[in-house]
Structure 1
Amino acid sequence: MAGNVVESVQTKAREVAKEDFDKAKVLFQDATRSGSYLYPIKGIFYFASHRSLWKPLISRLLPTIGLSVGVVASMFAFTYVPQLAILVFVNGPLAVFTTVLLILSESSTIISVLSRNFLLQDALLDTFDGTLVSRDATNIVSEGRQLKAGGDPMARLGKILKTPFSGFSPKAIVRYFMYLPLNFIPVIGTVIFVLLQGRARGTAAHERYFQLKRWSASQRSEWLKEHVGAYSGFGTVATLLEMIPFASIVFSFTNTVGAALWAADIEKKESEMSSSTAPGLREAAKKAE
């Protein structure tokens, strides 16, 4: 009897594992096919080659670097040894490295919470809108702010007409600490943790874009549901970049640029599809007359 129960549990566990693996496989294929994971990298090169986009970063550089140094130094000074003592029991020698990753992840979250809410909100908003303007996506930017004539993309940004990015979601903080124990699982746990954080990070990448599109909450939810793999791919790469100590501030801006480049490409693709289908619709209308 006991043997049958154990066998039944094992069978169910294999079914669940296979189901989760299949879902992860589909997400990975979607992310790969979309090419979304490349946009954080594209953002780095685009940002580096467009000096006008540096203005928001430069204006916030010193206070944010000070915040980053203070948070990372404090986290290593006060939490490295206690967390290492716990992780060494499950990760063995690898605990030296997994503890560093864990603290960097924790520090990144704390820095993100503080900086995005108190230091970088307006600067990231300007960077996103400025990147769209530099890609000639002025029609959509004008839905959220006034645009001036002439000048470089940043100089053209006028008064904000719509509320900028929302602050760091309390749900995101709860979700972060809820998944934190995954790091106690050797190697694979940390990988899963980063992937989960990446998925959450990805869904927030186009918050400003959806706002400019005037999409309702249900429209956003439906779009994100249809493109889970793509946003997870973007978010994972963006998360890994923002986990790099002291460089996280720069990558926050380059990731914002990457998200804007992605939004501009989506707009371009939709415009091309509309242009190609419109003549066909007009022809069909003529035949119906």
Structure 2
Amino acid sequence: MAQPQAPLGTRLRCIFYEPTKANLWAGLYPIKGIFFFLAHPFFYPLVKARLIPAFLLSAFVLLNLFFWTYLPQVAFLALFHKGSSAWVNGTFLVLGEGSAIVAILFECFLADESQVDIFDATLVYKGYEDLVRQFRPVAEESLNDPVRRLGTPTRSSVYGPFSFRQIAEFIILLPLNFVPFFGVPIFLLLTGYRAGPLQHWRYFKLLDFDRKQRNAFAKKRRWQYTWYGAVYLLLQLTPVLSMFFLLTAATSSALWAADLETERRRQEAVAQQGDAQYQDEPDDAV
């Protein structure tokens, strides 16, 4: 599951000096996912039972962190910062700590099944039920509701695996928030480097990719995944709403997967056409 890791210098250079249109466009998918989710009420039943415990859990963790740890951390940051930046970086530091704690608890006990349903329903809505049918039955389109069309999974279905390495990197990189002004964006981009590909774990499974294929696919789009992951993590730092954005992330990753699948199939069709023309040429010559 681990992705190939480039040296830190290479990662920073590529992140900041290769902001191509494709990379920046990939970073918009988490925002598109929110609007898509809100615009399609068939998603609402999937999260109705999750929202109340999610809000309570998030509020409980953040209130305790801000009450017990915020001022001590700001005081410590003030040793390295000038002006008000210690308060800003301290806020992001506590939000990052809260995000890590809540994400572990929420993803482990509440979210994954709903994320799988949201991801699959989005792909069905986009016309890629053939991928979803490998893991669960999909009813006829007469229901006109992608969520209701989904049957019970017949194979193990996980939206994203628990990654101890991702959590460890998240915690290890938290001290970057000590750096005035630039610490927060650097932290988001470096942690997004790993978070992005993990958001497409379900897509890779639907394609039946092995580890080598998964790594090659992610490596080819490494910086797109980095920018996507950075925006995804930024939304996870939003107080209380972070758990809602965790669910809309499944929509955004599915929208991106649908676009990638469209391009992948187009390229395969072009390649097959080229092979067919090449095979016809000897007959034409005769």
TM over 0.5: same fold?
A: yes
Report deviation, 1:166: 4.4
Structure 2 residue 115 is the aligned partner of structure 1 residue 121: no
Q: Which segments of 5 or more consecutive residues in structure 2 lack a partner in the other structure?
A: 1-6
Structure 2 residue 217 is the aligned partner of structure 1 residue 226: no
Q: Which residue of 2 aligns with 1:161?
A: 154
Q: Which residue of 2 aligns with 1:271?
A: 265
Structure 2 residue 138 is the aligned partner of structure 1 residue 147: yes
Q: Which residue of 1 aligns with 2:26?
A: 36
How far, CA to CA, are the matches of 2:199 and 2:217 in structure 1?
Answer: 13
How far, CA to CA, are the matches of 2:115 and 2:281 in structure 1?
Answer: 50
- Shift in alpha-carbon separation, 1:204–1:19, aligned structure 2, 3 A: closer
Aligned length: 273
Q: Which residue of 1 aligns with 2:164?
A: 170
Q: Which residue of 2 aligns with 1:50?
A: 40
Mapped contact 2:160–2:202 kept (Cα < 8 A): no
Report deviation, 1:58: 1.2
Where does 1:193-272 land on structure 2 (aligned, <5 Å)? 193-272=187-266
Mapped contact 2:166–2:195 kept (Cα < 8 A): no
Mapped contact 1:27–1:228 kept (Cα < 8 A): no
How far, CA to CA, are the matches of 1:148 and 1:174 in structure 2?
Answer: 41
Cα RMSD of the aligned pairs, angstroms, is 2.0
Report deviation, 1:212: 0.5
Given residue 173 of structure 1, which amino acid in structure 2 is its aligned partner? I
Mapped contact 2:29–2:252 kept (Cα < 8 A): yes
Q: What CA deviation, in whole Å up to 9, does each residue of 1:242-281 have, x standing for no partner?
A: 2111111221122211110000011111222233343332
Higher relative helix content: 1
- Shift in alpha-carbon separation, 1:145–1:283, aligned structure 2, 3 A: same
Mapped contact 1:31–1:233 kept (Cα < 8 A): no
- Shift in alpha-carbon separation, 1:30–1:18, aligned structure 2, 3 A: farther
- Shift in alpha-carbon separation, 1:143–1:19, aligned structure 2, 3 A: closer
Larger Rg: 1
3-state secondary structure, aligned to 2:71: helix
How far, CA to CA, are the matches of 1:260 and 1:193 in structure 2?
Answer: 25
Where does 1:71-82 land on structure 2 (aligned, <5 Å)? 71-82=61-72
- Shift in alpha-carbon separation, 1:267–1:105, aligned structure 2, 3 A: same
3-state secondary structure, aligned to 1:162: coil
Match of 1:281 among 272, 275, 279: 275
How far, CA to CA, are the matches of 1:44 and 1:216 in structure 2?
Answer: 30
Q: Which residue of 1 aligns with 2:95?
A: 104
How far, CA to CA, are the matches of 2:23 and 2:147 in structure 1?
Answer: 32
